[in-house]
Chain A
């Protein structure tokens, strides 16, 4: 007897034929994006309105996760905070890629003294612990979200430059590049047409994995008071706000902590899944 399995056609293309890691990551990712985009329109309360008579209230139908030490709705603040945390992260990662990739392509392809200068500079920056350096810069420039981003970008571009550079160095002496040279292609054209496609998937993997790390860095620095300033809702800043009340009202820290945890997890799952799928070696 021949039983025909029902065929599932409804699965969208980016979900089909992916491994479990990516699938979990994608589901998380979609939920996060959805919350970030429509969240501010559906929150039950204004995240900025303080209501001192309702401070540290337990979860209720009005305040799903309760209220914080100023009587603000934790749930609303979390949802709205997603926008600033994820928005800054996306901005940081994109900026870092836009700075790191061109430098990597250029110094990898041209090599020589330019390469030496940039790599020694990178070594110099990396000689200091990444996080400490970010704290130092953010502290030096003064606490604000903008300075926080600058400090992270300053440290992060190196990773992208290194990955891109190492790929370009292995590719640039292959015969197809020589053939392009013999065919009269300029260095610019070779970088654009032949080098760039080689770096796309490794950089995507790196960026996806990095999003998790950047969220943690932003949250950590905000927790230390160097990032988002009150009363702006940002997950790290919310953790900082909740710290004095940790013993009496731990939910003030637990909810933002969980939010950070799940978002980082989602991006790490996706990044690892993509890495396995594209067989990109971690460098």
Chain B
């Protein structure tokens, strides 16, 4: 479904990504692990078509995302959505949250997600269904972002992300700004949505346990270079790259 072919990107003459290739099959979830500054967020933005790579290309369902014209790119947007790391910045502070949630569906009036068949007309009703989908009470519809907790805001961001029923949802550290207890809830929600909607995730994180929970395959980035790629069940295999082993050990130590 998604093919990333030897992508490189340089910021201010510092290489952020070097020759990255990966692929995502339909219905499959991929984890991208790396420490901060390893270029994983940049990779996410390139895959979404928000930034252009210096070299290489991204093919989604056979089309090169970065050579598409604006109209065609928009048509692909409905299959590619995102949940950002920081729910504070990802919702407009001046809008009641339900308006943020229904915005993608406003832009694609011909998209009818499977879970919205009956209430296609009323925007508020659509928001209500989406809120239910992510386990939020409809009472919160009219609230503004600053009146909600971090976990609630992140659920709203997830609701917006799934509203078009995309094939691929890029999650850029979706839990790392949340409290530990809330992290688990949001991860469970993502897992449930993955099953219900047959979603693929591109799950960007430095939290190995979270990636392990969500994804079938994992790639490891270090300083913009892809150092390791493997199936999740092979995480503890001796064939792992030394850097991967180190990350695993570090996360085990944290848990103790």
Contact = CB atoms under 8 A, between A and B. Distances in A.
Asked if A and B are interacting partners, one says yes
Interface residues of B, number: 27
Report, as a range, how many residues of chain A touch the other chain. 10 to 19
A197 interface: yes
B65 to A, nearest CB: 12
B72 interface: no
Interface stretch (A118-126, A177-185, A213-221): A177-185
A180 B92 CA distance: 10
Contact of B100 (A176, A186, A198): A176
Contacts of A174: 89
A189 interface: yes
Contacts of A179: 82, 84, 90-91, 100, 157, 160
Contacts of B92: 176, 180, 193-194, 197
Nearest to B172: A175
A184 B89 contact: no
A148 B174 CA distance: 57
Interface in B39-98: 45, 48, 50, 74, 77-78, 80-82, 84-86, 89-92, 94-95
Nearest to A185: B107
A182 B95 contact: no
A181 B104 CA distance: 9
A178 to B, nearest CB: 6
B84 A184 contact: no
A58 B94 CA distance: 57
Interface of B: 45, 48, 50, 74, 77-78, 80-82, 84-86, 89-92, 94-95, 99-100, 103-104, 107-108, 157, 160, 164
Interface of A: 174-176, 178-186, 189, 193-194, 197-198
A-B residue pairs, 10 tightest by C-beta: A183-B104, A184-B107, A197-B94, A175-B90, A175-B89, A175-B84, A184-B77, A176-B92, A182-B82, A174-B89
17 contacts: A175-B89, A176-B89, A176-B91, A178-B45, A179-B157, A182-B50, A182-B80, A182-B82, A183-B77, A183-B81, A183-B103, A183-B164, A185-B104, A193-B92, A193-B95, A194-B92, A194-B95
